[in-house]
Structure 1
Amino acid sequence: MTRAGIVRAGLVLGTLALVAAASPASAEIVSRESDITSIRLGQRIWVDDGSCKAGEIKQVTGTKLTPQGVSTVKQCVSRRGARPN
């Protein structure tokens, strides 16, 4: 393999590694917030507990690492976006 081929192969492998690392964490749907035992940074969990208005679902997202663990943000979002990957 030539030097250019080695460099090209390295770039392709590096790009694939970045794409894999940047892919969003998979989401899941639970019926109660108490069913969430742990959450990772960037992870989204949808809670279908009826607390949001019609056509929406509560989204809990792990946003920041604190000494106590991962802090979360809760918001109501459209159900159209609530589809697990």
Structure 2
Amino acid sequence: MTHSRLFSIRAVLLAAVGVTAFSMAAQAQVVSRESDIVSLRLGQRIQVDDGSCPTGQIKEVTGTTLTPDGVARSSKCVPRVVRK
């Protein structure tokens, strides 16, 4: 194989890995109780399906800021997205 052909194959494989990683990161983790969240990273979003939000919404817990005690959390109700 020529050098340019190998480069093209590597570029396609790298793009495929990037798209896969991005799509997996875009999917939020869903737990049934907020106490099920053991560790939360800065910027991470976890959805909590505990029934505390109105119909059609789900609680989203986000790691907002870094404090001396760890990552501070905030939560809000967001529209529930139906995944196929």
TM-score when normalising by structure 2: 0.64
Is the 2:31–2:37 contact (alpha carbons within 8 Å) kept by the matching residues of 1? Answer: no
- 1:16-31 alignment runs, 5 A limit: 16-23=16-23, 24=25, 25-30=27-32
List per-residue Cα deviations over 1:41-80 (Å, max 9, x = no partner). Answer: 554322233322233221113455x25444433110123x
List per-residue Cα deviations over 1:21-53 (Å, max 9, x = no partner). Answer: 3232552231x2122112345543222333222
* Bigger relative contact order (CA 8 A; separation at least 6): 1
**2 CA distance for matches of 1:76 and 1:4?**
50
Gaps of 5+ in 1: none
TM-score when normalising by structure 1: 0.64
Quote the residue 1:7 is aligned against: 7
Quote the residue 1:53 is aligned against: 54
Gaps of 5+ in 2: none
SS in 2 for 1:61: strand
- Percent of aligned pairs sharing the same letter: 47
Relative to structure 1, the CA distance from residue 82 to residue 57 in structure 2 (aligned partners, 3 Å threshold; closer, same or farther) is farther
Relative to structure 1, the CA distance from residue 33 to residue 14 in structure 2 (aligned partners, 3 Å threshold; closer, same or farther) is same
| Paired residues, number | 81
Is the 2:52–2:59 contact (alpha carbons within 8 Å) kept by the matching residues of 1? Answer: yes
